[in-house]
A and B are shown apart, each in its own frame.
Chain A
Amino acid sequence: MEIEKWNNAAEKVYNEACEKKQVSSRPKILLAGTPVIFPNFKILDVMESAGLSMAADIQCTSFGRFYNPVSIDEDTESGIIRALTLKNIAGSICPCLLNLEKLIDLIIDTVNQHNIQGVIYYNLRLCQVFDIQSAIIRQVLKEKNIPFISIKTDLGKEDTGQMKTRLEAFREMIDLRKK
C-alpha cells in the first residue's frame, strides 16, 4: 500500500538523520522572517559560503507550519479534515503577519531549544511590505545577548556579494564571542 511505502521511506530518512551527527564547527543559525521558496535559494547559498549553517527556521514554508498543533475534536475522517482545514486555513502561519510578541517568543524559544548562536532575519521585499518588526526584534535579542542581523533583499542576484560580506562579518562576530 502507498501509505506503508511512505511510512517506511519516512522512517529511513528519520533514522539516517539521527545517525548523522553534526561534525562541523559552523555557528548554528536560526533563519527567521520571510520564506525561502524554490528556486530562490540565494540566502541559503550565501549562508553556506559564509560558513554558517542553518539549524532551525520559523518560516511559513517549513517549520513555521508545525508550531500550531492540529487539534482534532472528533476522531472521524471528516473531523480530521476539519481540524487540518482549521489549522491550515483559519490560522495564519505567516511570520510577517504574526503578532510581534508571539513572533519574538517563537524566536527565543527556538533559539533556546536548538542552541542557536545567531539569528538571521531574512527580509524579502515582496513578502514584507514594511520592515518594522526587525528593529524591535533586534532590540529584544540584543538585551538577551543573541547576535542578530537583518538581511533585506529581493529575488535578484545582484546583491550576493554584499550579502556575503555582511554574513561573513556576522560569522566573525559570533566566532569572537565564542572565544
Chain B
Amino acid sequence: MKAGIDIGSVMTKCVIVENERIIAGAMAKSGAMPEKIAEKVLVDASKSAGIELSQLEKIVTTGYGRHIFSKAHITITEISAAAKAAFHLSGKKNCLIIDVGGQDTKVIEVDKSGEVVDFLMNDKCAAGTGRFLEMMADVLETDIYGLGEMSMQATRPVLINSTCSVFAESEVVSLLAHNEKKENIAAGLLNAIASRIATMMSHFNKENMVVFCGGGAKIPGLKEGIEKISNRKIQVLENPQFAVAFGAAIS
C-alpha cells in the first residue's frame, strides 16, 4: 500500500492506494501549518482505510508544500504527478491535462508513453486560478460552487476584461453598481478564466484527448465554458481533487 499526499496551496489531499486503486482518501484545508495538516490527513486516510501507518510501504508528497513533510520517502512535482494520474485514469493514452488548482493553472501535454512533453503554467501571480474565483465569489456573496451555479442562470454574460483579482474586483464592483445581474457577472468571470485556459491549450497538439483535474474541475459551468471557447471535448477525471495525490502515490 502506498500513500500520496498533495500539499496544495489551499487544500491538502491524501489518498491510500492499493494495486493502483484508491481505497481511502482524506482532505483538509492547508492553513498556516501545512506539515501538521499533512500528518493529519495521512492519519485520517489510513484510519478510513483501516490500516496502520507502518503498513505503508511508500509515502510520496507533491504540491507546493512537498518539501516540508519529513515522513515522505520521495517528493515529485505536481506536474509529474498530474501527468501520471491522468495517463493512468484516461486509459494510457496521450492526453492534454488541464489542472485548475488554488494558486496555479496548468496545462500539461503527455505523450503515449506517459511522459510529460511540455507544460504551461501561470508564471507569476494567482491571476486566473481557483483563488481568483474564490475572491470574486466573495464579492458576489457566495462561494466558488455557488458562483458556478449562478453562472448557469445567466441571460447575457458580461465581458470581464481582467483575470487579475485586484482589477477584476473593481470591475465587478462597478458592474454591481450599474445594477448588472449577479448571474451575468458570474458567467463573465467564468468565461474570463475559460478563455485564458483555452489560450493555454491552443499552444499544444490539437488532436489529443483533454482531461480536467484539480479542484477547479468541480466548479459547475467551468468545463462547459472551456469546451465552448476551445471547441474541444473535455473529460473530467473521477475524484478530480484527489487526482494529483493519486498520481503521486502510483509514481
Contacts and interface: CB of A to CB of B under 8 A. Distances in A.
Given A153-B123, A159-B123, A177 B115 contact: yes
B76 A165 contact: no
Contact of B118 (A142, A151, A159, A161): A142
B203 A135 contact: yes
- Band of interface residues on B: 10 to 19
A142 B122 CA distance: 21
Nearest to B79: A169
Nearest to B78: A165
B121 interface: yes
- Band of interface residues on A: 20 to 34
Contacts of A177: 115
Which of B104, B118, B119 has the largest count of A CB atoms less than 10 A from its CB?
A: B118
B77 interface: yes
Contacts of A18: none
A169 B118 CA distance: 10
Contacts of A138: 118, 203
Interface of A: 135, 138, 142, 148, 151-153, 158-159, 161-163, 165-166, 168-169, 172-173, 176-177
27 contacts: A135-B203, A138-B118, A138-B203, A142-B117, A142-B118, A151-B123, A152-B123, A153-B123, A158-B124, A159-B123, A162-B122, A163-B123, A165-B64, A165-B77, A165-B79, A165-B121, A166-B79, A166-B123, A169-B77, A169-B79, A169-B116, A169-B119, A172-B80, A172-B116, A173-B116, A173-B117, A176-B115
